[in-house]
């Protein structure tokens, strides 16, 4: 999986019928030092990730391994909202601190 930040949404009304009801998020990838990369993915989200949150994204056939997705033409899925990322025993990211800094 890759670490990504929710940056926005993509809306498509004229689409494959099986994709109706799917919420599509624009996720921008984050490197192992916590910086935004130019790469992104538009991924389906059923767990309710919000803008600015860090998430884990699975790509390829993994995106169809959840109930109801098996025959949808999806190649990317938000599989979790990240609480913490620790690298070399220090905290690279903590959702709690992120939330706090949003309400100073």
Binding site for a second copy (CB under 8 A): 1-3, 7-16, 18-19, 24, 26, 28, 31-32, 38, 40-43, 47-48, 51, 56, 58-66, 71-77, 79-89, 92
- The rounded distance, in Å, linking the Cα atoms of 64 and 42 is 14
- The rounded distance, in Å, linking the Cα atoms of 34 and 49 is 18
Q: How far is the CB of 104 from a second copy (least distance, A)?
A: 19
The DSSP symbol for 13 reads S
Give the tokens for residue 70. 């098996």
CA atoms within 13 A on the CB side of 56: 11
65 or 100, CB closer to a second copy?
65
β-bridge mates for residue 77, sequence order = 44, 58
Q: How far is the CB of 86 from a second copy (least distance, A)?
A: 4
Q: How far is the CB of 39 from a second copy (least distance, A)?
A: 8
42 or 100, CB closer to a second copy?
42
């Amino acid at each position: 999986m890759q670490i990504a930040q929710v940056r926005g949404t993509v809306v498509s009304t004229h689409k494959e019928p099986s994709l109706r009801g799917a919420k599509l998020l624009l996720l921008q990838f984050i490197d192992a030092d916590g910086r935004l990369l130019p790469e992104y993915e538009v991924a389906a989200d059923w767990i309710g990730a919000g803008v600015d949150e860090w998430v884990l994204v699975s790509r390829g056939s993994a995106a169809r391994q959840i109930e109801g997705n098996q025959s949808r033409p999806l190649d990317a899925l938000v599989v979790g909202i990240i609480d913490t990322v620790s690298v070399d025993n220090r905290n690279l990211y903590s959702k709690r601190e992120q939330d706090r800094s949003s309400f100073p």
